[in-house]
């Protein structure tokens, strides 16, 4: 099990007018809410220190995968300028 899964439906006059599934990834990787509270992954990453710079991707990758192990195949790093890193989390 990866975490909570929510199925949300709006029914009017015996018909489903909207349906949404909120997956564990959406719960855990959500941005700050309207009150400025960080999502679970952002909280876990904030303040993370590494013993040396070469371990940065390994340590961050392990933290992220602890919330959703399926992300390791689809995660890329994007810097503040929007550049996508070619480095994969599980490589040093």
The verdict on residue 66 lying in a domain is: yes
The verdict on residue 79 lying in a domain is: no
Domain total in the chain: 1
Range of the domain at 45: 6-73
Kind and range of the H or E run holding 30:
none
| Per-block mean pLDDT, blocks of 10 residues, the chain (92 long) | 77 91 79 88 89 84 77 59 61 42
CA torsion sign for 65, 32, 4, 48 is positive
Residues 25-49: pLDDT tens digits?
Answer: 777 888 888 899 998 889 999 998 8
Average pLDDT, the chain: 78
The verdict on residue 81 lying in a domain is: no
Q: Taking Cα atoms as reference points, which of 31, 29, 27, 35 lies closest to residue 8?
A: 27
The verdict on residue 30 lying in a domain is: yes
């Amino acid at each position: 099990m990866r975490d909570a899964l929510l199925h949300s439906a709006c029914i009017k006059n015996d018909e489903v007018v909207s349906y949404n599934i909120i997956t564990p990834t959406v719960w855990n990787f959500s941005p700050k809410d309207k009150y400025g509270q960080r999502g679970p992954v952002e909280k876990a990453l904030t303040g993370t220190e590494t013993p040396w710079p070469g371990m940065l991707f390994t340590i961050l990758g392990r933290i992220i995968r602890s919330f959703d192990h399926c992300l390791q195949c689809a995660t890329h790093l994007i810097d503040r300028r929007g550049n996508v890193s070619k480095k994969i989390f599980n490589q040093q």
